[in-house]
Amino acid sequence: MNARPRQSWDPLRLPDLKGRTYLITGANAGLGYFASEQLARAGAHVVMSGRHPNRLHAAHDAIEARVPGASVETLILDVANPGSVRSAAASLKGGVFSRQKLDGVLLNAGIVHTPRRRRITRDGRELVLATNALGHFVLAGELLTTLAKAASGAHTARMVWLGSMSTRMGTYEPKDIQLEKSYAAWKAYVQSKVVVQSLALEANARLREAGVPVDSVLAHPGYSIGGRSPMVAGVNQPSRWKRLRDGMQAPIAQSKQHGAWAPVRALIDPDVTGGEFIGPKFLTRGTPVRVKPSGTSNDPDVRERVWERCEELTGVHWPLAKAARTRR
C-alpha cells in the first residue's frame, strides 16, 4: 500500500485547528507570542505560559484584540524553577483549565542573551541549561501521559523542542554539561541547544520503542529578530534605532512572526513525523522545510549520555510505560 503523498505547506494557510489545544512556553513575547497568535487564528485553544504575570496578560490581551474570537488563556510557568514546572503541569493534568485534552506543547521558552558569568538556579543548576533544556525535560515528562491521552486513531499528540542553527557552528559536545570547568556566554547558549536537540531526538526514539502515541519533533527559527517583527503593543515595541539596525540585516534575517512558522509547522502539520527537524528553507530565513540536525545532536552515544545526565540532574524519569497504556 502506497503511503499518502506529503502535501506542500503554506504557513499563511494553516489547517483548521478547532477542537485542538496547545500549550506554549514563553508565550508572552517573541516566537512564543507569534506562534500563539498563529495557532489562535487557526481556531486552536492556546494556553499561553510565562513567568511574568503582567507581560503574560499583555500578550493574552494582544491576541484577543488582534484575533477576533480567539480562545486563549494564561498559565504562570517558570521553566527554570522545577517547582513552578510541576505546579503548572499539575494544573493542566488536574483539569483546572477549560480544556482537559492537550494535543501538543511547544517547548519554546529560553535564554538567548546569556549572562557573561556563570549563574546557577536555586536548586544548583547552571541557569542557561536549566532554562533552555532541563525545565522542558521535566515539563515534557510531567505532561507525557496527558499528551498520550489526546491520541486517537491516526492522530498523535506532539511535543516540539526549539533547537538552533547555531549548533552547526562547531561541535560543542556537552561533556561538561553544567559548564563547571569552563563557562562562556556563547558556549552556554550553543551547548544548551545541543542538549535540547539531543533530548528531542532521543525522546522520539524512546517514545517509539515504548509505543507511546506522542511525537517528539525539532524546530528552529533561523535568524529571527525583533526589529523586523510587527509592532504589537505590550509585546513587541522596538525603538527606531532597533528598527534601523535590524533592518540593515534584512538579507539574512526575518521577523519573529516568520520565525514562528517553523515551530508551528512542527507542531501541527499532519505530514511531519516524530524525529524530524523543521527550519527555514534558507537556514536563517524562509518558509519552513525539513532540515538536518547537527551530527553531534544526532549521535546516539551523545543522545543517551545527555538523556541520562538530565535524568540525574532533574530526578525525573519519564513514565513511558504508563503513557503507552493510556491510548484510547
pLDDT tens digits for 261-314?
999 999 999 999 999 999 999 999 999 999 999 999 999 999 999 999 999 999
Q: Residue 53 pLDDT more than 80?
A: yes
- Percentage of the chain surpassing pLDDT 70? 95
Asked whether 225 and 246 are in contact (CB, 8 A), the reply is yes
Give pLDDT, residue 6: 64
List of residues 6+ apart from 142 with CB closer than 8 A: 85, 86, 89, 90, 93, 316
pLDDT tens digits for 190-235?
999 999 999 999 999 999 999 999 999 999 999 998 888 777 878 7
Nearest alpha-carbon partner for 314 in 91, 112, 121, 145: 121
Give pLDDT, residue 29: 93
Sheet with 71-76, side-by-side order of all strands:
71-76, 45-50, 21-24, 104-107, 157-162, 214-219, 277-280, 288-291
Give the C-alpha separation, 143 to 159, whole Å.
10
At 271, list the grid cell.
505530514
Q: Residue 99 pLDDT more than 60?
A: no
Buried b (16+ CB within 10 A) or exposed e, 70-98: bbbebbebbbbbbebbeebbeebbeeebe
Q: Residue 2 pLDDT more than 50?
A: no
Q: Kindly indicate the confidence band of residue 189, based on its pLDDT and cuts at 50, 70 and 90.
A: very high
Asked whether 108 and 263 are in contact (CB, 8 A), the reply is yes
Nearest alpha-carbon partner for 65 in 33, 92, 97: 33
- Percentage of the chain surpassing pLDDT 90? 81
Give pLDDT, residue 226: 83
At 215, list the grid cell.
511525537
Q: Residue 252 pLDDT more than 80?
A: yes
Q: From residue 322, how far is each of 292, 307, 315, 316, 327 by CA, in Å?
A: 31, 19, 18, 14, 10
DSSP 272-315: --TT-EEEETTSSSSSEEEE---TTTT-HHHHHHHHHHHHHHH-
Q: Residue 328 pLDDT more than 80?
A: no
**Across residues 54-82, what is the average pLDDT?**
95
Give the C-alpha separation, 314 to 142, whole Å.
12
Give pLDDT, residue 237: 79
Give the C-alpha separation, 196 to 130, whole Å.
11
Distance of CA 248 to the CA centre of its chain: 28
Give pLDDT, residue 27: 97
Q: Kindly indicate the confidence band of residue 152, based on its pLDDT and cuts at 50, 70 and 90.
A: confident
Give the C-alpha separation, 93 to 186, whole Å.
36
Name the average pLDDT for the chain. 92
Q: Kindly indicate the confidence band of residue 4, based on its pLDDT and cuts at 50, 70 and 90.
A: low
**Across residues 164-181, what is the average pLDDT?**
93
List of residues 6+ apart from 159 with CB closer than 8 A: 104, 105, 107, 140, 143, 147, 203, 214, 215, 216, 217
Burial of 27 (0-12, 13-18, 19+ CB in 10 A): buried
**Across residues 11-28, what is the average pLDDT?**
96
**Across residues 150-159, what is the average pLDDT?**
83
**Across residues 71-95, what is the average pLDDT?**
92
Give the C-alpha separation, 79 to 81, whole Å.
5
Q: What is the total residue count of the chain?
A: 328
Q: Kindly indicate the confidence band of residue 8, based on its pLDDT and cuts at 50, 70 and 90.
A: confident
Asked whether 109 and 55 are in contact (CB, 8 A), the reply is no
Give pLDDT, residue 1: 39
Nearest alpha-carbon partner for 140 in 152, 156, 163, 157: 157
**Across residues 32-58, what is the average pLDDT?**
96
Give the C-alpha separation, 155 to 213, whole Å.
8
Distance of CA 275 to the CA centre of its chain: 14
